[in-house]
Amino acid sequence: MKKILALLVTLVLTSPAFAQVDEITIWWAEWDPANYLQQIGNDYEAATGIKVNVVQEPWGSFLNKVSAEWAAQGSGFDMVVGDSQWLGQAVTEGHYVDMTDFLTSTGIKDTVTEATLRYYAEYDGRLYAYPTEGDANGWAYRKDLFENPDEMAAFQERYGYELAVPQTWAQLRDIAEFFTRPDEGLYGNAIYTQVDYDGITMGFQNVFFSYGADWADETNNVLGVVNSPEAVAALELYKELYSFAPPGLNNAFFAESNDAFINGQVAMAMNYFAFFPALANPEINPHAENTGYFAMPAGPDGERYAALGGQGISINSYIDDTRKQAAYDFIEWFAQEDIQLRWAQLGGYTCNTNVLSSPEFLEVAPFNAAFAETMTFVKDFWNIPVYGQLLEPVQRNVHNFVVGGQGTAQEAMDNIANEHDEVLVEAGVINE
Amino acid sequence: MIQTQTSTQPSVKKRRQLSDRAIMLLFIMPTMIILVLMNIYPLFYSLYLSFTEYSVIGREAPKWVGFANYIEILTDERFWSNFAITGRYAIISVALQMLIGFGLALLLRDKFRGSGIVTTLILVPMMLSPVVVGLFWRLMFHPSQGIVNYMLGFTNPNTSPQWLESPVLSMWAVIIVDVWMWSPFVMLLALAGLSAIPEYLYEAASIDRASAWFQFRRITLPQVMPLLLIAVLFRTIEAIKQFDLVMGITGGAPSVETISVRLYREAFNEFDTGLSSAFAYIVLIIIIGISNIYIRQLNKARGD
């Protein structure tokens, strides 16, 4: 009888519901911030004894890998640091745990900036992620060119105002034009033109939103909104900026933009802040000492927006309650201000409001001030389940016009508006 | 001992009873099982999916929609544009490969000192990975740093051809690379055909004072034709499926968005599994149709 009792106790204690979690797994894309998160995980292991494995997957196959796990309702990971655009699908299909009560009751919700909470975590009024790696587009520029007295005088004479960090898109355009000197191998700017995933859309959105355009109105109507005069003007400006880019940047994303800057080909380069550490490293960028950074300029009416990158950490809904609790515990620990400061010092882009405004953060890297400023005006593309179908027409039509020189800006935006309308009607987001 | 012997006898007998057919099946079964699991089952399952609304990353079961996916594809202008781009690309690329490949074979037909090394060097491009080829040609087409414009005499990047930017030139860029890579394959087949032509046919023609052109038209071409048609068949199928070079060189720019690139985007960017399965079947039907036409021509050329 005793033996049977002992066996039963053993069985109960070793069953999954009573199992002690001594290891948690986080999936993320393969890039430097994931290495920083692993270091944070090592700190967590030292503090709690629970090992953290950050499993990295190349960006190109990251969504495929996560999707396969979702489709199988698998428990291969406890948490995933997923793209903001995945939210709609992950939430509507039940892959993410609803973290609203947890983030509210612990007060974590109030520790991050409003914009990051909205775009990395929120879907249909509920919260499904903790904003982890904030990111958005910004600019790097050559201070030695901008502060050269001869250049400043020449610019003043030609444009009638002082050469300085641009405050508006119109000024940025003038500066790009001014520094475009093919005979010297110098061009005004490097911008995103990549056609395969979302590169050109992300780059264009910086101008698009700042010009007062949007992907839909409050009722999700797109006709007359996506192809508004502001949207058309924004696209025309983006094409103009492309004419000030070095030849060969017809399919450029973050790597090509950084390369053009490092090679001394451009005076300004658009990129995600996550890729600016390379520009601040003298071993990579010979102009590192002379590189400055600024946030997105304002549109004609003073509006400022930056296209959002970055990700939030979400909990897999297919793991058992013990593992969910372990995931909550990790997030609660990770969200503490001192850990967020450590995260920022390692190179991670915190979304914590206090850390973002702290002198320690602002001084730790030359681009952090611009990043902190940017995190207050980020804006994203659609994040509903059909975002892939909405993204594709933008990529194709914007690339066709900006790079391929086909049609007019009005035609390109009209095409996008019509195709978006079809997708949204079919998805039931709007009525026919 | 006796007992042991008697107890082992039946098993020996049993083993001996395995028929040739059973042994054959034992050898074939593993392959058949893998074939059914990895090829046949997915083939039929994707056929079923092509009649459904389904996303592989979604949690909803496939919903039967009949021919809706096929109708959507065949009535969508953009899909037709993908077919037109692929058709244009396949015709020009395969035609150039045939001309250049056959021309090279004629040049290398007669042995000369170092002809073996020359032939081997010409074959190198087709041994490379298409992705690697696409990436290094992208660098070579770079307007300011690439060697292509430099070789053409353009030193000012602002006035030189923008190979990967212009919709017309980007198509030609992919064609040039495909021709560079696969003309050697045509050459190889043509060389095999040329070496099989009996010498006495030419000797007889020479005695009859037949011109070189006449000999080419009436002896060389008909004799090599079956192998050339096989080359056309293989290269056309490959051209219709073109994906790696387009993505490697242009990143899949809209002006060179072939049906395979579009299929990849529908299947793995938009995850529209139902529609992409239907699209894949349409491509399969096209390839089977074209292959049949070629095979008929091939049989005709062989005089069957």
Please give the pLDDT value at position A217. Answer: 94
| pLDDT tens-place string over residues A223-265 | 999 999 999 999 999 999 999 999 989 989 998 999 999 999 9
Mean of pLDDT values over B239-243: 94
Lowest mean pLDDT among A159-173, A175-189, A394-408, B132-146: B132-146
Mean pLDDT of A13-35: 78
CB A277 within 8 A of CB A347: yes
Tell me the shortest Cα–Cα distance from A55 to chain B, in angstroms: 20
What integer pLDDT is reported at residue B110 of this predicted model? 87
Distance of residue A216 Cα from the nearest chain B Cα, in angstroms: 20
* CATH 1.10.3720.10 for the B77-302 domain, yes or no: yes
Q: Establish, for the pair of chains A and B, how many residue pairs have beta carbons separated by less than 8 Å.
A: 81
Q: A272, A143 in Cβ contact below 8 A?
A: no
Collect all residues of chain A within an 8 Å Cβ-Cβ radius of residue B144. 185, 246-248
Query: Is pLDDT above 90 for B256?
Result: yes
Smallest CA–CA distance from B163 into chain A, residue:
A248
pTM above 0.90, yes or no: no
pLDDT at B13 over 80: no
Q: Mean per-residue pLDDT for A412-427?
A: 95
Spatial distance between the Cα atoms of A39 and A345, rounded to a whole number of angstroms = 11
Q: Would you say residue A155 has pLDDT above 70?
A: yes
Among B242, B229, B249, B217, CA closest to B290:
B229
At A2 the pLDDT is: 60
Q: If you average pLDDT over residues A117-129, what whole number do you get? A: 93
Domain with CATH 1.10.3720.10 in chain B: 77-302
pLDDT at A20: 78
What's the rounded Cα separation, in Å, for the pair B82 and B256?
8
pLDDT at A18: 44
Residue A66 φ then ψ, to 5°: -65, -40
pLDDT at A13 over 50: no
Phi and psi, residue A185, nearest 5°: 70, 20
Distance linking the first and last C-alpha atoms of chain B: 68
Among A195, A248, A396, select the one facing B144 at the smallest CB separation: A248
Report the mean per-residue pLDDT for chain B. Answer: 89
Q: Which position has the token pair 């609790």?
A: A325
3-state secondary structure of A149: helix
For residue B270, pLDDT beyond 90? no
**Interface with chain A: mutation pick from B57, B69, B268, highest number of A CBs within 10 Å:** B57
Residue B244 CA to its chain's centroid (Å)? 11
pLDDT category of residue A93 using cuts at 50, 70 and 90 = confident
If pLDDT is split at 50, 70 and 90, which confidence band does A12 have? very low
pLDDT at A273 over 60: yes
Task: Provide the token pair at B62.
Answer: 């496939």
ipTM score of complex: 0.73
Mean predicted confidence (pLDDT) in B12-33:
82
What pLDDT digit, counting tens, does each position of A279-296 carry?
999 999 999 999 999 999
Question: What's A382-413 look like in SS3?
Answer: CCCCCHHHHHHHHHHHHHHHHCCCCCCHHHHH
Of B23 and B300, the one with more pLDDT: B23
Q: Which of A255, A124, A260 is nearest to A189 (CA)?
A: A260
Coil, strand or helix: which one is A206?
A: helix
Instruction: Answer whether A406 touches B (CB < 8 Å).
Output: yes
Q: Is A135 helix (H, G, I), strand (E, B) or coil?
A: strand
pLDDT confidence bin for B160, thresholds 50/70/90: confident
In what helix (H) or strand (E) does residue A245 lie, and over which residues does it extend?
none
Does the distance separating the beta carbons of A194 and B146 come in below 8 Å? no
Helix A199-210 and helix A229-243, axial crossing angle in degrees, nearest 10: 120
Q: State residue A265's pLDDT score.
A: 94
Chain A interface test: which of B165, B246, B262 (most A C-beta within 10 Å): B165
Of A356, A367, A350, residue with least CA distance to A36: A350
Residues from chain A contacting residue B158 (CB–CB below 8 Å): 182, 247
Please judge whether A248 and B143 are an interchain contact, meaning their C-beta atoms are less than 8 angstroms apart: yes
* Gap between the Cα atoms of A230 and A123, Å rounded: 28
Average pLDDT taken over every residue of chain A:
92
Chain A hits for B165, CB-CB cut-off 8 Å, are 247, 250, 403-404
CA atoms within 13 A on the CB side of A257: 27
Q: Do B56 and A71 touch (CB under 8 A)?
A: yes
Any residues with CB less than 8 A from the CB of A99 and at least 6 apart, and which?
Answer: A121, A127, A128, A129, A130, A314, A315, A331
Distance from CA of B108 to the nearest CA of A (A): 38
Mind listing the domains of chain A with CATH numbers?
A: 17-135+308-379 (3.40.190.10), 136-210+231-307 (3.40.190.10)
Q: Above 60 in pLDDT, residue B88?
A: yes
Q: What is the pLDDT of residue B98?
A: 96
**Measured between alpha carbons, how far is B101 from B262 in angstroms, rounded to an integer?**
30
Residue B111: which pLDDT band, with cuts at 50, 70 and 90?
A: confident
Which two three-digit tokens encode residue A129? Answer: 């992620």
Nearest CA in chain B to A187: B158
* Range ranked top by mean pLDDT from A6-15, A315-324, A368-377: A315-324
Task: Point out the residue among A246, A392, A404 whose CB comes nearest to the CB of B255.
Answer: A404
Using pLDDT thresholds of 50, 70 and 90, give the confidence band for residue B121.
very high
Q: Cα separation of A334 and A343, whole Å?
A: 9
pLDDT tier, B6 (very low <50, low <70, confident <90, very high otherwise): very low
Distance CA A170, CA A298 (A): 9
